């Protein structure tokens, strides 16, 4: 067995990053659905023992990264520890190493993407929430949580948000990016519950997230098209009046990169100016709404110079919309020290690494 440590024990000082860090996309992994069985009631508990899990990635990964989990072995004699499935390893690899103030757990468990057996999906989501509270949130106060729901059953999802939304470390509801637009009125109970519980709504891809032409033939193309699916969900919320109806709603889109954002802001405004008679429930330019209430994770960030990065910020017309994400422990996760280009203004780095997320999640 090859023994190669991927854990660099040297912690990184805050001055090297230039800011405190809140990592807004950290995946803790449910390795097997059976882990959730103790948190489920019958008849679903029995089902969970036979379950293969929700929304597997459909592709053979070209680089061999299955779910992106890295195996970290320091000694051949050690039991393998899996990044994302081991709190102490997560602490070593990111929380302690970068002195993170917080990491927002986003899981990779999306029963909300299931197209069948909605009742079971609801039960699985609820079990996950109890599992993550007991095994992760209550074991490290730096961790913040995402409420798993099954939007297939919006009323039940709202009740689940009411059930666990009061947990002090739960900061958002997680909605998988699916092929149904969340702007549809049937999903309103979920947004109402999020507002009622003062938590944000996050959106994240799953293995089932498809581009505009469905699942493309190659993984690279699928990966390239994921931002389009995220954009479509933002448009859905805007034009269907979700932001207009729920004035306190805060939304964050994760793991789609961010360079699409200037385009979306301009594009949405243009459609509003041209075609606003069709959506008279919108009372301001979409870009105004989104600058105040939409946040987007940086990862996976494209390589660019500081000058290029600043142009994107300028085109957005806001320094408040981006929040830093590693996407730990996935294969394309971003390195806090190197992901953002060097030479950015210190104030901007502080906003992206810390202040924007602190304000968005209403942290002290």
Closer to another protein at the Cβ: 245 or 267?
A: 245
For the sheet with 170-176, list strands across it.
22-26, 102-105, 143-148, 170-176, 200-204, 251-254, 294-297, 322-323
- Residue 321 CA, distance from chain mean position: 15
C-alpha 308/C-alpha 230 separation (Å) is 23
Closer to another protein at the Cβ: 73 or 266?
A: 266
Tell me the H-state helices in the chain.
Answer: 14-17, 44-49, 87-90, 118-135, 154-164, 188-196, 219-239, 242-245, 261-275, 286-293, 306-316, 346-350, 356-360
Shortest spacing between CB 244 and another protein, in angstroms: 7
C-alpha 52/C-alpha 265 separation (Å) is 40
- Segment contacting another protein by CB under 8 A, of 198-206, 259-267, 272-280, 310-318: 272-280
State the number of binding residues for another protein (CB under 8 A): 14
Q: Which of 67, 206, 240, 356 binds another protein (CB under 8 A)?
A: 240
User: Around Cβ 169, how many Cβ atoms within 10 Å?
Assistant: 18
If binding is defined by CB under 8 A, does position 39 make contact with another protein?
no
Closer to another protein at the Cβ: 136 or 187?
A: 187
If binding is defined by CB under 8 A, does position 277 make contact with another protein?
yes
Closer to another protein at the Cβ: 218 or 281?
A: 281
Closer to another protein at the Cβ: 206 or 287?
A: 287
- Segment contacting another protein by CB under 8 A, of 18-26, 215-223, 274-282, 311-319: 274-282
If binding is defined by CB under 8 A, does position 216 make contact with another protein?
no
If binding is defined by CB under 8 A, does position 244 make contact with another protein?
yes
If binding is defined by CB under 8 A, does position 341 make contact with another protein?
no
C-alpha 324/C-alpha 22 separation (Å) is 7
Shortest spacing between CB 246 and another protein, in angstroms: 10
User: Using an 8 Å Cβ cutoff, are 284 and 290 in contact?
Assistant: no
If binding is defined by CB under 8 A, does position 280 make contact with another protein?
yes
Residues written for the chain: 364
Residue 146 β-bridge partners: 172
User: Using an 8 Å Cβ cutoff, are 297 and 253 in contact?
Assistant: yes
If binding is defined by CB under 8 A, does position 226 make contact with another protein?
no
Q: Which of 37, 192, 285, 339 binds another protein (CB under 8 A)?
A: 285
If binding is defined by CB under 8 A, does position 287 make contact with another protein?
no
Residue 173 β-bridge partners: 147, 201
If binding is defined by CB under 8 A, does position 272 make contact with another protein?
yes
- Segment contacting another protein by CB under 8 A, of 49-57, 106-114, 266-274, 327-335: 266-274
- Segment contacting another protein by CB under 8 A, of 35-43, 91-99, 103-111, 241-249: 241-249
User: Around Cβ 3, how many Cβ atoms within 10 Å?
Assistant: 10
- Segment contacting another protein by CB under 8 A, of 10-18, 67-75, 193-201, 280-288: 280-288
If binding is defined by CB under 8 A, does position 267 make contact with another protein?
no
| Residues 182 to 211 in contact with another protein, rule: CB under 8 A | 185
Closer to another protein at the Cβ: 186 or 342?
A: 186
If binding is defined by CB under 8 A, does position 276 make contact with another protein?
yes
Dihedral sign, Cα of residue 21, residue 27, residue 236, residue 227: positive
Closer to another protein at the Cβ: 271 or 358?
A: 271
Shortest spacing between CB 278 and another protein, in angstroms: 9
User: Using a CB cutoff of 8 Å and minimum separation of 24, what contacts does 237-241 make?
Assistant: 237/182, 237/183, 238/183, 238/268, 238/282, 238/286, 238/289, 238/290, 239/183, 239/268, 239/271, 239/279, 239/282, 240/181, 240/183, 240/184, 240/185, 241/183, 241/279, 241/281, 241/282
If binding is defined by CB under 8 A, does position 241 make contact with another protein?
yes
**List of residues contacting another protein (CB under 8 A):** 185, 240-241, 244-245, 272-277, 280-281, 285
């Amino acid at each position: 067995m090859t023994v190669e440590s991927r854990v660099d024990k040297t912690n990184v000082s805050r001055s090297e990053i230039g800011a405190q860090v809140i990592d807004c996309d950290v995946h803790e992994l449910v390795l097997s659905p059976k882990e959730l069985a103790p948190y489920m009631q019958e008849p679903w508990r029995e089902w969970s023992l036979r379950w293969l899990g929700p929304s597997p990635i459909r592709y053979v990964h070209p680089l061999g990264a299955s779910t992106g989990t890295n195996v970290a072995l320091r000694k051949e004699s050690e039991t393998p520890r899996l990044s994302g499935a081991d709190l102490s390893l997560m602490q070593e690899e990111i929380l302690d190493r970068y002195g993170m103030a917080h990491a927002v757990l986003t899981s990779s468990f999306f029963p909300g993407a299931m197209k069948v057996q909605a009742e079971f999906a609801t039960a699985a989501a609820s079990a996950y929430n109890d599992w993550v509270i007991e095994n992760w949130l209550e074991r490290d106060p730096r961790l913040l949580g995402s409420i798993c729901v099954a939007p297939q059953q919006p009323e039940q999802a709202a009740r689940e948000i009411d059930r666990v939304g009061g947990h002090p470390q739960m900061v958002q509801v997680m909605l998988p990016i699916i092929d149904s637009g969340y702007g549809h009125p049937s999903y309103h109970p979920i947004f109402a519950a999020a507002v009622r519980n003062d938590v944000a709504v996050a959106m994240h891809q799953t293995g089932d997230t498809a581009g505009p032409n469905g699942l493309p033939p190659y993984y690279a193309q699928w990966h390239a098209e994921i931002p389009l699916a995220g954009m479509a969900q933002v448009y859905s919320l805007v034009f269907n009046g979700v932001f207009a109806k729920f004035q306190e709603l805060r939304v964050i889109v994760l793991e789609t990169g961010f360079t699409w954002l200037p385009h979306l802001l301009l594009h949405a405004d243009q459609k509003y100016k041209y075609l606003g008679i069709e959506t008279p429930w919108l009372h301001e330019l979409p870009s105004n709404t989104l600058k105040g209430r939409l946040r987007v994770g940086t990862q996976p960030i494209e390589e660019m110079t500081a000058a290029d990065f600043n142009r994107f910020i300028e085109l957005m017309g806001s320094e408040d919309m981006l929040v830093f994400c590693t996407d730990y422990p996935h294969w394309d996760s971003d390195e806090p020290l190197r992901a953002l280009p060097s030479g950015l203004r210190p104030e901007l780095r502080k906003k992206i690494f810390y202040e924007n997320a602190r304000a968005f999640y209403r942290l002290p």
